[in-house]
């Protein structure tokens, strides 16, 4: 992973408890964009990852709930 503070590829921290948190894309130190919401962490031997829902999908769901 990379981050705004450390742009060099490095191992990610333990992501336990991050469900519902924002997933951000850092274009550089001064510009970032919210691109998704974390929904699950996969932690299997040899297969680790974070599953997220695109922010566009989340916003459409919220809009539909508000217009119902």
* DSSP type of residue 30: T
pLDDT tens-digit series, residues 2-22: 777 777 887 777 777 788 889
The secondary structure of the chain in percent helix, strand, coil, rounded to multiples of 5, reads 20, 45, 40
Distance CA 50, CA 45 (A): 14
Strand order in the sheet with 31-44: 22-28, 31-44, 47-54
pLDDT at 20: 87
pLDDT at 27: 84
pTM (predicted TM-score):
0.64
pLDDT at 41: 82
pLDDT tens-digit series, residues 17-66: 788 889 888 887 788 999 999 988 888 888 778 889 999 999 999 999 99
């Amino acid at each position: 992973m990379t981050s705004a503070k450390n742009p060099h590829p490095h191992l990610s921290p333990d992501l336990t408890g991050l469900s519902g948190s924002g997933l951000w894309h850092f274009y550089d130190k001064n510009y970032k964009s919210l691109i998704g919401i974390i929904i699950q962490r996969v932690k299997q031997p040899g297969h680790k990852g974070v599953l997220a829902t695109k922010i566009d999908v989340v916003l459409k769901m919220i809009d539909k709930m508000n217009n119902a």
